[in-house]
């Protein structure tokens, strides 16, 4: 019997309080953008490990999932992708149309690049927009769906009001002024908030504006019934991007779905309680897939 060889990402202590992660990998999309991704796998090398694909939020990157990865990577091959225009991926030329279909195609092409028929997909906020679209349009590629703070688009939210504020103040000052919409500030470390703001500020404001204009124009609620895979919906009970009621509507439309509310929590639930998020994903997968009953 041949054992599989896996390359797990390592974190190297540089001895000066800094840490260095293994470099991102890249592939080229059919429209010639470079998309970054990384793989973590600490599952048993003698047993097959299913793949979990994680898609981050708008203004985020794959590194924002850092605290969720350890629990997941013990049982799964965890792939994290930087959406186009984010993190280590290229920012498309502004003359190139930005569409949800094209961003979702990036996900398909990553699966193709990795020679994967499908994966358990985790989508946070805007990453969930791509996840939902993939599950609707290419159901054979999505084994299960876990959505965190992710409604079917932003047209029913107040997010369009962010656009003139970002244009006037800039991305970081806007986020700093509205940070309580994303974090329970009094419960979070100052250093964590500053890291979040610094990381968001690295984004190209023009691209973020274009993506926000796109997402606030979309609502695919009428297509949610086409999602047929087991689906976990995790909602912020104190949702500040849209309404918490939107998640109840999703639960009614998606046939095989489970809805969990994180009571009184603002939008950024994966940043606020990453351990709880990963635990809920593992419980959901163990419950729905008997082959995963070894997960603890």
What are the pLDDT digits (tens) for 67-121?
999 999 999 999 999 999 999 999 999 999 999 999 999 999 999 999 999 999 9
DSSP-derived 3-state class of residue 232: strand
Residue 67: inside a domain: yes
Helix axes 205-215, 126-137, angle to 10 degrees: 50
Residue 173: partners with Cβ closer than 8 Å, 6 or more residues away: none
> What pLDDT, in 10s, does the model give residues 160-170?
999 999 999 99
Q: The CATH number of the domain where 234 resides is what?
A: 3.40.50.1820
**230 or 1: whose pLDDT is higher?**
230
Residue 21 has what pLDDT? Answer: 53
CB atoms within 10 A of CB 60: 25
Q: How far is CA 109 from the centre of its chain?
A: 17
Confidence of residue 13 (pLDDT cuts 50, 70, 90): very low
Residue 234: inside a domain: yes
Q: Taking 90 as the threshold, does the pLDDT of residue 10 lie above it?
A: no
d(C-alpha 116, C-alpha 50), whole Å? 10
Residue 6: inside a domain: no
> What pLDDT, in 10s, does the model give residues 183-215?
999 999 999 999 999 999 999 999 999 999 999
Confidence of residue 244 (pLDDT cuts 50, 70, 90): confident
Q: How far is CA 282 from the centre of its chain?
A: 16
**293 or 40: whose pLDDT is higher?**
40
Residue 229: inside a domain: yes
Rounded to two decimals, the pTM is 0.93
**148 or 4: whose pLDDT is higher?**
148
Residue 5: inside a domain: no
Strand (E) positions, the chain? Answer: 11-13, 19-21, 25-28, 34-41, 51-55, 77-81, 119-124, 142-148, 231-236, 257-262
Per the CB < 8 A criterion, the answer to whether 126 and 57 are in contact is yes
Q: Of all residues in the chain, what percent carry a pLDDT higher than 70? A: 93
Span 259-275, average pLDDT: 96
d(C-alpha 282, C-alpha 44), whole Å? 16
Q: Of all residues in the chain, what percent carry a pLDDT higher than 90? A: 87
Give 34: exposed, middle or buried? Use CB within 10 Å, 0-12, 13-18, 19+.
middle
Q: How many domains does the chain have?
A: 1
Q: Taking 80 as the threshold, does the pLDDT of residue 37 lie above it?
A: yes
Residue 1: inside a domain: no
Write out the residue range of the structural domain in which residue 146 sits: 11-292
Confidence of residue 243 (pLDDT cuts 50, 70, 90): confident
Query: Residue 190: CA atoms inside 13 Å, Cβ hemisphere, count?
Result: 0
Residue 114 has what pLDDT? Answer: 98
Residue 20 has what pLDDT? Answer: 43
Q: Taking 70 as the threshold, does the pLDDT of residue 4 lie above it?
A: no
Residue 3: inside a domain: no
Span 36-49, average pLDDT: 95
Residue 4: inside a domain: no
């Amino acid at each position: 019997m041949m054992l599989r060889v896996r390359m797990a990402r390592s974190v190297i202590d540089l001895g000066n309080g800094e840490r260095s992660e293994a470099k991102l990998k890249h592939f080229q999309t059919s429209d010639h953008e470079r998309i970054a991704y990384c793989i973590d796998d600490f599952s048993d090398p003698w047993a097959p490990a299913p793949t979990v694909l994680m898609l981050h939020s708008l203004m985020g990157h794959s590194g924002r999932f850092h605290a969720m990865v350890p629990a997941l990577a013990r049982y799964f091959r965890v792939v994290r992708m930087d959406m186009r225009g984010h993190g280590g991926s290229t920012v498309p030329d502004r003359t190139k149309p930005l569409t949800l279909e094209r961003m979702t195609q990036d996900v398909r092409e990553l699966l193709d690049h990795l020679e994967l028929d499908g994966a358990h997909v985790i989508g946070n906020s805007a990453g969930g927009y791509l996840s939902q679209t993939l599950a609707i349009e290419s159901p054979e590629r999505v084994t299960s769906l876990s959505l965190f703070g992710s409604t079917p688009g932003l047209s029913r939210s107040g997010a369009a009001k962010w656009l003139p504020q970002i244009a006037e103040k800039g991305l970081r000052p806007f986020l700093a002024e509205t940070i309580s919409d994303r974090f329970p500030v009094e419960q979070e470390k100052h250093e964590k908030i500053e890291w979040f703001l610094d990381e968001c500020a690295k984004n190209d404001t023009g691209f973020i504006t274009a993506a926000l204009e796109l997402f606030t124009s979309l609502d695919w609620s009428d297509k949610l019934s086409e999602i047929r895979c087991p689906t976990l919906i995790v909602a912020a009970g104190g949702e500040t991007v849209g309404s918490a009621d939107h998640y109840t509507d999703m639960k009614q439309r998606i046939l095989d779905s489970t809805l969990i509310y994180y009571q009184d929590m603002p939008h950024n639930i994966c940043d606020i309680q990453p351990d709880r998020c990963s635990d809920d994903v593992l419980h959901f997968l163990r419950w729905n897939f008997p082959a995963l009953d070894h997960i603890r």
